Amino acid sequence: MTRQFVFNGFVTGMLVALPAVALTLTYGILRFPNFAIGAMLTAGAYIAFGFNAWLALPLLWSAALGAVVFAAVAVGIDQAVFRPLRERSAITLLVASMGVSFVLENVARFIFGNQARSYEIPLARPNEILGIQVNSEQVITAATAVSAMCAVYIILRHTWLGRAMRAVSDDPALAAVRGINPGRIVRWTWALTGVLIGIAGVLAGMDRAIDPLLGWNYVVTVFAAAILGGLGNPLGAIIGALTVGVVEETSTLVIPPNYRQVVSFMFIALILLIRPQGLLGMQRLRK
């Protein structure tokens, strides 16, 4: 029984890791917590739903196309909303992201309606492995999340884009006098986070029904994961997501499932009290 909950929590953690890494990447570069992460996740789920249900494309293609389209949407949101506010405080940008969240949610409501939707995917019985029930959605979620995390790692560590993103994250002014165009790197960062959020939206839509509030179910958990790992640290976000996922899921052994998000709130409160820089916060060197 406990093993099953730990496994489920691990898979949920992998799903949460994608938006948590997206949140931490934008925080690292732009220094504001993007509150619209939940609504963006919803939008990503709906875009893929459009390809899947309206154009009758297989879910794999719908997810891939949806991620690319949402990457463009994320860049567009940045250029229209966040770019004019770039020099403002983090609080201003946070409030702007709340506005973006509100607009995205209502655009989804306007286009797709309020009723719950789901992807066109075949139903399958779960398989039992070592006494744990494993369904195909969980396998897809785990495989997709691990692939996406590996891709992000390779991009950050071994490509020009990753080096430039880390340089801008360290010091945007110094990056500029080293010949890096910070504006271009910001756009690439939004594109990358857009892909991650788009993919996470599809995985969330496979896990739950797609409705205009889909992303809200993950907002607190995503923030808890990113804060636990240390905002701005992608590896920390992954560790934080897996930890929060497993603890949230296993907590339902002792508290009613409706209260599981209380665990995330407690994580945020405890971490901010005890170790505000997060688990891996010390690994990031200050100037």
Which positions touch other proteins (CB under 8 A)?
A: 160, 163-164, 166-167, 169-171, 173-182, 284-287
Answer whether 205's CB lies under 8 Å from 119's CB: yes
- Looking at the Cβ atoms of 140 and 175, the one nearer to other proteins is 175
Q: Would you say the C-alpha torsion 204, 45, 210, 224 has a positive or negative sign?
A: positive
- In the DSSP assignment, the letter for residue 128 is E
Answer whether 231's CB lies under 8 Å from 33's CB: yes
- Looking at the Cβ atoms of 125 and 287, the one nearer to other proteins is 287
Distance in angstroms (rounded) separating the CA atoms of residues 16 and 9? 10
- Looking at the Cβ atoms of 145 and 226, the one nearer to other proteins is 226
Q: Which of 192, 207, 195, 196 is nearest to 139 (CA)?
A: 207
- Looking at the Cβ atoms of 122 and 179, the one nearer to other proteins is 179
- Side chain identity at residue 48, one-letter code: A
CA atoms within 13 A on the CB side of 219: 16
As measured in angstroms, the least distance from the Cβ of 187 to other proteins is: 14
Q: Which of 20, 27, 80, 8 is nearest to 219 (CA)?
A: 20
- Looking at the Cβ atoms of 1 and 177, the one nearer to other proteins is 177
Per-residue exposure over 2-15, b if at least 16 CB sit within 10 Å of its own CB, e if not: eeebebbbbbbbbb
Answer whether 112's CB lies under 8 Å from 46's CB: yes
As measured in angstroms, the least distance from the Cβ of 11 to other proteins is: 31
Please state the φ and ψ torsions of residue 181, each to the nearest 5 degrees: -90, 100
- Side chain identity at residue 132, one-letter code: I
As measured in angstroms, the least distance from the Cβ of 286 to other proteins is: 7
As measured in angstroms, the least distance from the Cβ of 15 to other proteins is: 28
According to DSSP, the residues that pair with 117 across neighbouring strands are: 210
- Looking at the Cβ atoms of 179 and 256, the one nearer to other proteins is 179
As measured in angstroms, the least distance from the Cβ of 209 to other proteins is: 41
As measured in angstroms, the least distance from the Cβ of 175 to other proteins is: 8
SS3 label, residue 112: helix
As measured in angstroms, the least distance from the Cβ of 184 to other proteins is: 9
- Looking at the Cβ atoms of 170 and 207, the one nearer to other proteins is 170
